[in-house]
Amino acid sequence: MILYGIANCDTVRKAKKLLEQAAHPFRFHDFRKEGLTPTMIQAWLAYADYSQLINKRSTTWKGLNESEQQAIESQDLERVCQHPTLIKRPLLDTGSKLLIGFNASEYQSL
């Protein structure tokens, strides 16, 4: 399993803690340190709709101008990669499904 997010995000910390307590082996991928690629996003789109991946409530989204927002809405993956905090966090790739956001009961059902 791979847990994607940002190290200082509270919900990512909760997800990491729950996975560790349940002794689930996982690797943490920090968007800020390790980056984000269009290939990664394309892989996630096999499990989720694009609109589910983008966090329009984030301060990053609110800081974008209208043309940047429109480009992201039209699935400009390169632009999303320039702003990795636009991806909803945490994102857990189990290999067979993708959990977007943190829901303790979903994580416990693993």
Give dist(CA 93, CA 98) in Å, integer.
Answer: 5
Angle at 34 between CA 36 and CA 97, to 5 degrees: 55
pLDDT at site 109 = 86
77 alpha-carbon distance from chain centroid: 14
Q: What pLDDT, on a 0 to 100 scale, did the predictor assign at position 35?
A: 94
Q: Which pTM value belongs to this model? A: 0.91
Instruction: Mark the ranges of the chain whose per-residue pLDDT is less than 70.
Output: none
CATH 3.10.20.30, applies to 2-108: no
Beta-strand relationship, 2-5 and 27-30: parallel
The domain limits of the chain are 2-108
Using an 8 Å Cβ cutoff, are 5 and 90 in contact? yes
Residues designated catalytic: 9
| pLDDT score recorded for residue 98 | 95
